[in-house]
Structure 1
Amino acid sequence: MSKVLSNKHNLQVLYEDNHLIVINKRAGDIVQGDKTGDTPLSEVVKEYIKDKYKKPGNVYLGVVHRLDRPTTGIVLFAKTSKALPRLNKIFATKEAKKIYWALVKDYPSKKQDTLVHWMVRNPKQNKSYAHKNEVPDSKKAVLHYTVIKELNNYSLLEIELETGRHHQIRSQLSSIGYPIKGDLKYGFNRSNPDAGIHLHARKLSFIHPVKKELLEIVAPLPNDSLWSACNS
């Protein structure tokens, strides 16, 4: 996958305290272990904590949410068994605000829109299909997007998720004719060199489960020419 996967020496830590840690995930990192047997980001973070704090024995780390392997950006982990259920509740009750940036093919006719689909997941293909109307075994999916910049051949979308379905952003944008750059699985015509896609978990805001203060985190964009053009 990615040429530069995360390890304990190059981990991009965006925020850390006694209760939680937030990482800027690289394309190619898997958040939790899977059938590939590749080292997951969760284990890399454990190694980082063990080294940094000279912890003997096992390090506790709770996975709060996930990002697809080719996606970059914010991933939040709980550092204590006390914080994990509280963070899980924040995400389950949609108290966490998640903003994504996506570079899509061409220029959407609507500069701002709400997409509502009914998603059906196919586990064998590891793919989700977006339907306009409710179908058997489907789950409702809602997102809001705004075009915030236009580049040559691409548009930069800011996306706020209302639901969190499998491959939701990728599938919904593809279904309206604007696949994400590099996303072969959902209709883009060629892959990116690092096998990632131009979808980035940009911002996360929520009330800290212990400190009860608003925490707002922004993940810097990956270092490539297209993302750099979005920042200019």
Structure 2
Amino acid sequence: MEVFSPFRIAAAICRLGMTTAGSFDLLSDCDLLSTAGRQEVLKTLMSKRPLMLMCSPPCTMYSELMRLWNAKKMNPQVKALREKDAYLMVCFSMELCRLQDDAGRFYCYEHPYKAASWKLDIAQQMAMRSSTQFLDWDQCRVGLCAPGSTPDEHPIRKRTKFMTNSHHIQSIFQGLQCECQVEHFHVQGSYNGVSVSKHCQIYPPDFCMKVAEATKLHVEEL
């Protein structure tokens, strides 16, 4: 089950012969800022009991780019509203991860390595659980690159951090630090007519497959 993502990891799950409890995101007609949208997700989580939950709330208001540049230019009222929404999404994500952990199932929560959200009290509370593990890795190792280019031409590093209780997620992703021999492309502006920051919000196919492979290893242990 994936939350804050349309049918991406679920597609890889299906390719490996497993089933999915659903993909929940605004792009798949589920507004997670609405009470109804969040209730739909909670109901599905409790009824279908997915073995693996992938959770990646929007990082925009917590990103380094926002802190260093964009926040200074925003209307204060708009900024306050967006910060409130962003905090709600992180809190909801943590609640879902906690429910998975309490039930003895697995979760993987993803945000950028330097996201300010990692310092929130709600995240620190999850960090104190004995089952919680952290790892950071670079998305250039799973094929992230500038729109319309290749990893050999314009790789994008995008250091990412996981919080998880899955030892298979840990083992599959823990060694994926950058080994690029060319300069990284910067996450700013546009390239080939595509916003680079929005492009980087989409999981590369290899990312999705690795999460699916970790899930399958857990299935095989049942």
TM-score calculated relative to the size of structure 1: 0.30
Structure ranking higher in strand proportion: 1
Structure ranking higher in helix proportion: 2
TM-score calculated relative to the size of structure 2: 0.31
